[in-house]
A and B are shown apart, each in its own frame.
Chain A
C-alpha cells in the first residue's frame, strides 16, 4: 500500500512537472493577443512542444529500459514497478522512432520529424509518475522513510530565512523564464523589431518599461527571454560539472595508491589553469553556441567539486561500516555506490547549488566578452551589446541595470539556498537542542568558491548518516506517540 502522502505528492507534482516541461518548449509565435483558446492550444497540438532532437528520447529509452530490466531481475517480489519502467522505455523508443524518421527512410539522429511530440512527452511524464506510484506501492516502508526524510528536510529548510528568500527569488526568475512566451512576444527579439529610437529612456508603455537598446529594440523583451538562456546554461553546465567532479572526487577519495594520486594531480593541474583564457581558447576552437558553452563551463568547473567531494570521501572512507563492508567482500564499486555516495550526497547537493551560481556567472562573463551565441540573448549578451555600443557613456542606465541586477539576484538566491542546504543536511551544523551541551551555530562550511573551504565536520556514523538515518528501528509511523511516555 502506497503511503497516502506520497500519493498526494505524485498527483500534485506530476501535472506541475508536465506544465514546466511543456512551457520550456511552448511555441514562441503565439502572442497573447491571439486569444485564450489559441494559447491553450499551444500546449497541445503544435510542432514545437516536446520538439527535442531524436537522440533525447533514445537516451531516455535506453536509460529507462536498462533501469527497468535491472529492477526486474533484482526484485524480491513481483510488482508492476519494473514493467511500468519498461513501458515508459518502450514509449520513449516509439517517440525516438517517430522523431528520427527511422522507418520512413530518412534517418536522422537529431531529427524532429514528428508533430506528435507533445503527445509522446505527456504520456512519458504520466508513465514516470505511474512508475513512482508503483514503486511506492511495492516498497511502502522505503517510501515512508523517504517521505519522512523529505518532510524533515523541508521543515528544517523552512526555518532558514535566507534559504527561503533564495528559494522565492529563484522561483520568481524561473517563472519569468518559463512564462516568457506569455510575458513578451518573441517577435520583439527580431533584429527588425524596433519599437523606438535607439537608447530611448523608459516610458510607461509595457515594452518600453526598460527603454530601448542601441538598435531601438525592447530591453524588456530581451530581458525576459534572456532568463531562459542564463538559467538553463547554468543548470546544464552544473550537471556536467557535478557528475564529473563527484565521480572523480569519490574515486580519488576512496581508492588508495597511485590511482588516487593521479586523479588528484589531474584535479590540481586543472585548478591551476586560469579558466577564462582557457574558456576563450576553447570557444575559439569549438565555436560559439550555448551547447559548447555548457560543455566548456562544465569542464572548467569540475575540479572545485572534485576537491570538496574528495575531502568528504576521505572522511567517509574511514568510517567503521566501510571496513565492515570490505571485510564481508563487497566490491569497490558496490561500496562506492551504496555507502560512500549516500554519505557524500548531502555535501554534493549543497555544493551543486553553489556551483549553479558560479556557472551562471561564468556564462554571463563569457557572453559579455562576446563569446556567447550571437543569435540568442542572455543577460551577459545584453550587457555585451550595451558595452560595445557605449551605453555606459550616455549613460543608458535602463540598459545596464536590469540584466546586472537580475544576475546579482539569481546568484545570491542560489548562494543562499546552497548555504541553507548545507546547514540543513549536516546535523552538526544545525543548532543543537540538547541540554547541557553548548548549542552552537555552525560556520559556513561551503562558500561560493567553487572549491569550498575546509572539510566537513562529519555526519553521524550511521550508514546513510545524519538525517538520512531515519527514525528509530521500532518506529511505527501509525503509532507515533511523539516521545516516550
Chain B
C-alpha cells in the first residue's frame, strides 16, 4: 500500500494505543486500596483539611466519568499535579530527569548495538567456529544475568576494589566544576560504568537475535544464488545476507529503546543515577502517586512512539511492506 495510507494507519494505531494506555492509567491508580484522597495526602501531613483539599484538586467527589473527563483535560495539558515528596509540579520533576536517562540509555544502547550486532553477524556467518562458540555462549550467559546483579558486581570490582570509577551518581555531590571540559570528563567518568553495565545484558540479546536471524537467512536460496554468481564471501554476507537479517533486529532495538523505563530502573537505582528510572523507584518507595502516574504514562508513550518509529524505519528497509 502506498506511503500515506501505511503511515496514517500506523499513526492512528499508535494514537489509539496511547488513548487506551492513558485510560488504563486512570483505572490503575483508582484501584489502589483505601480512600484515594487519603493516599494523595503524604504521610505525616494528614489532616482533614489536607484531604479535603486533595479531594477538590482531584475532583474525587464527582462521579467516575466526570473524573475521567477531568483526568483527560489535565493530562493533555501535561498537568499531573504536584509531587508529594518534592512539593513541586510533577511535570517539572519528571522533566529534569529525562536527560540523564536518555544519556545513560543512549550510550548503553550504542555500545550494545555496536558490539552485539557485529559479533552476532560474524558468529552467525561462521557457525560453530571458535568465535561463535565463545561469543554465543557468553551472550547466553550475559543474557541470563540480572541487570542489577551485574551492576553490583561491577561496582564491587571496579569501584570498590580497583577504584577506577566512582560508586555512583552522575556527578560527585558538592563539587563545582571550573571548566566545561572538567565537567564533561567527570560526567564521562561517572557515566562509563552504568552505561557499560546497561549495555552488557542487551549485548547478549542482540548477539543471539542477529545470529539466529542470520542463520535463517543463510538457508535461503538467494544466498546460494549470490554465491553462484561468484561473489566473494564478504560480498555475499554484507550485501545480501545482512540487509535481510537486520530486519527483525531493527524492530527489536527500537522496542528496547522504547522500554527505556523498565531497563533503566534497575541500573539507575543501583548506581544512584538521577534519571527517570530512579524516579520511578523512589516514587514507589515513597508512595508518591502523582509522580508514579506520570512516569507510567510517559514510559508507555515512549514505547508506543518507539514502535511507531520502528514501523516507519521498516517501511524504508523492507520493500515488501509496500505491497
A and B touch in the complex (CB under 8 A): yes
Q: Return the contact of A383 from the options B24, B32, B143, B148 (Cβ within 8 A).
A: B148
Q: Is the CB of A392 within 8 A of B156?
A: yes
The answer on a CB contact under 8 Å between B295 and A277 is yes
B146 near A369 with CB under 8 A, answer no
Interchain CB contact under 8 A, B307 and A383 = no
Contact mask A387-431 → B, CB, 8 Å, 1/0?
100011111010011011001100110011000000000000000
Question: Is B144 within 8 A of A411, CB to CB?
Answer: yes
Say which residue of A368, A387, A392, A447 sits within 8 Å of B212 (CB atoms).
A447
A469 CB-CB contact with B under 8 Å: no
> CB-CB < 8 A to A365: which residues of B?
146-148, 266
CB distance A444 to B212 under 8 Å? Answer: yes
Which residues in B have their C-beta under 8 angstroms from that of A265? 20
Interchain CA distance A320-B262 in the complex, whole Å = 43
Give complex CA distance A403, B270 in Å.
17
Cα distance, A394 to B205, chains bound together (Å): 31
Nearest CB in chain A to that of B160: its residue: A395
A272 touches B21 (CB 8 A): yes
Q: Beyond A273-B21, A412-B144, is A387–B219 a contact (Cβ under 8 Å)?
A: no
B299 on the A face (CB < 8 A)? yes
> For the complex, is B314 an interface residue (Cβ under 8 Å from A)?
no
Question: CB of A269 within 8 A of chain B?
Answer: yes
Contact, CB under 8 Å: B284 / A412: no
**Count: A-B pairs, CB below 8 Å:** 160
Residues B153 and A369 in contact, CB atoms below 8 Å apart: no
Task: For A395, give the chain B residue with the smallest CB separation.
Answer: B156
Interface size in chain B (residues, C-beta < 8 A): 58
Interface hits, B118-164 → A, CB 8 Å: 127, 140-141, 143-149, 152-153, 155-156, 159-161
| Interface of B, helix, strand, loop or mixed by DSSP | helix
Let me know if A272 and B213 touch, CB within 8 A: no
Specify which chain A residues have a CB less than 8 angstroms from the CB of B284 in the assembled complex.
280-281, 284, 369
A441 adjacent to B160 (CB under 8 Å): no
| Cβ-closest chain B residue relative to A386 | B152
Using Cβ atoms and an 8 Å threshold, which residues of chain B touch A329? none
Contact A277 B32 (CB under 8 A): no
Q: Tell me which residues across on chain A come within 8 A of B269, comparing CB atoms.
A: 369
- Is A4 in the interface zone, CB < 8 Å from B? no
B236: A residues at CB distance < 8 A: none
With A273-B21, A281-B29, A415-B144 as contacts: A393 and B160 at CB distance below 8 Å? yes
| Chain A residues, CB < 8 A from B299 | 273-274, 277
Q: Which residues of B contact A277 (CB under 8 A)?
A: 261-262, 265, 280, 292, 295-296, 299
B152 touches A273 (CB 8 A): no
Whether A281 and B146, one on each chain, are in contact in the complex, defined by CB atoms closer than 8 angstroms, is: no
One of A62-70, A75-83, A130-138, A448-456 at the interface: A448-456
The answer to whether A285 touches B32, judged by C-beta atoms less than 8 angstroms apart, is: yes
- Check: A39 CB closer than 8 A to any chain B CB: no
Q: Compute how far the CA of A222 lies from the CA of B211 in the bound complex, rounded to whole angstroms.
A: 39
Q: In the complex, what distance in Å separates the CA atom of A239 from the CA atom of B156?
A: 36
Q: How far is the CB of A414 from chain B (nearest CB, A)?
A: 9
Q: Which 7 A-B pairs have the closest CB atoms?
A: A411-B144, A404-B149, A443-B215, A395-B156, A276-B262, A443-B216, A274-B262
User: Which residues of A are interface residues toward B (Cβ below 8 A)?
Assistant: 265, 268-269, 272-278, 280-281, 284-286, 357, 361, 364-365, 368-370, 380, 383, 386-387, 391-395, 397, 400-401, 403-404, 407-408, 411-412, 415-416, 440-445, 447-449, 453-454
